[in-house]
Amino acid sequence: MGSVANVFHLTKAAFLLVFGFTVRMLLMSSSYQKMIADRVEISTPVNSWKRVVEGVTLMKHNISPYEGDTFHEVPLFLQFYNFLIVNCDQWIPVIFTLVDLVTAIFLSLSSYLQLKTIRKWEKIKLKKLKKTDSEALEIPEKIIGDISFRIFTIYLLLPYSILPCVAKSTSVFTNFLMSLIMLTVSLGFRSAACLLVALVAYHSLYPILLVFPVLMALEKTNSNGKSFSYSSKGTIFSLAACFISTLLLISIFVMVSESIAGSFAYLSSSYLFLLSVPDFTPNIGLFWYFFTEMFDQFRDFFLWTFQINTFVYSIPLSLTLKENPNFFFLVTLILLSLFKPYPSISDLSIYLALLPQWTHLFTYMKQGLLVACVFISCTVLAPLMWQMWIILGTANSNFYFGVTLAYNVGQIFLITDLLFAYLKRDFYLSNGIKLDEQKKPLKLELSAE
């Protein structure tokens, strides 16, 4: 029976791969491709393929693509895009599609491995509980394969992953690197994981925050799931060595980029562009509207306030979620999507596809329906509000910003609900399921004490 089930899953996976490939290729070759690529929810100043083509064209004419306001990615990636355009121009749609399909496979494999590992980590706590509590809290091994397949299916068929691929957004490559990071961490490949984190951090700066969950996950995986303490000398040395190695790799990428670009001028058009947020092109983030309305004398103060929000949560989260760094990785992905100055729906796609990995938390969540309704309504309303504002002129920017604000509030609800559900289940893992007089689980509330 097991072999029959495996063949059935492989057959479905093959069908889904063919279907996902076909859908993406048909849309890329259709008249809708340009319209999709021009959507501000999909293409931003830092991931637009149109800007990539302009940057490569300028480079061919010996004009620096970093002069002016055209291209905002780093030189090594510019060289990669140049290679694709020069040598594989006709195959670019196929390359984007194949990379997206491989991303789905890597996400599925890494989730399978992580659930196996999490189940092994939790066995130590479950042994101390009553049998009924242990059975209620244990992640059933038989559903792990189904969950990983569900992640594979969701990413392949999710509009938030299909549309960026059709638009040839460079976020497709970023998502691929994210999935590869997850896979190398799940396999315990320390050097490869540090290299990949350094690469994505070099590319767009903000993913440097992934270094915390990645290093913690590697440390715990290589210690066979034993609970570790930050006060342990071995742990401190190992984490510090990996962190310094990652920073050194980023420095090497920066120096190599300087030799390619001929100067460090590219820094102002890449990293400084992200930090100073000079482009107010509307997107699904919070920066553009807020700083359009901001008085110049207050701009620096609020800019630093917004940017600090991106980084400030990593330290308390690393202390709270140290027993499950894989969950910390998911939370960090949501935080990056929430606080980046130029987000797109591609950021949403990767963590939405990963949510089934945490189905054992859904029982303790309260806002799931609300979050789902917010995402669906914003998906429908964003194009409508844009049409009313830009095309018809019957609305103003407040209409579109209202949708983006609701979308980001939905992300906040999601992250707080996930955190509360995780902490509640973690309490049960440590103390058992507490019942009231009516044999129902006691209501747990977060306390500031």
The per-residue pLDDT for 148 is 94
Tokens of 70: 């055209």
Q: SS3 for 19-61, per residue? A: HHHHHHHHHHCCCCHHHHHCCCCCCCCCCCHHHHHHHHHHHHC
Helices (H), 262-389: 266-269, 271-276, 287-292, 296-312, 314-320, 325-339, 345-354, 359-362, 368-386
pLDDT of residue 352: 95
The answer to whether 133 and 336 have CB atoms below 8 angstroms apart is no
Find out whether 150 and 356 touch, Cβ atoms under 8 Å.
Answer: yes
pLDDT value of residue 401: 93
Distance CA 161, CA 366 (A): 26
pLDDT tens sequence across 65-124:
998 888 999 999 999 999 999 998 899 999 999 999 999 999 999 999 999 999 888 888
Per residue in 249-277, is it b (16+ CB within 10 Å) or e — as a string?
bbeebbeebeeebeeeebbebbbebbeeb
Q: What residues pair up with 111 in beta bridges, in sequence order?
A: none
Gap between the Cα atoms of 159 and 173, Å rounded: 17
Mean pLDDT by 10 residues, the chain (449 residues): 60 91 95 94 94 93 88 94 92 96 96 92 81 82 91 95 96 96 92 93 93 88 59 68 88 92 89 92 91 85 90 89 92 94 94 94 91 95 93 90 95 95 90 68 59
pLDDT for the residue 224: 61
Fill in the amino acid letter for 231.
S
Q: Is the dihedral of CA 282, 285, 288, 294 positive or negative?
A: positive
pLDDT for res 356: 95
For 382-411, how does the pLDDT look when each residue is reduced to its tens digit (9 = 90+)?
A: 999 999 999 998 888 899 999 999 999 999
pLDDT value at position 349? 94
Of 314, 368, 376, which is closest to residue 339 (Cα–Cα)? Answer: 314
Average pLDDT, the chain: 89
**Structure token digits, residue 224:** 């066979």
pLDDT of residue 294: 82
pLDDT for 1 equals 45
pLDDT at position 437 is 59
Strand partners for 441: 435
Ramachandran class of 342: left when φ > 0, alpha when ψ lies in -120 to 50, beta otherwise: beta
Q: What is the pLDDT of residue 252?
A: 93
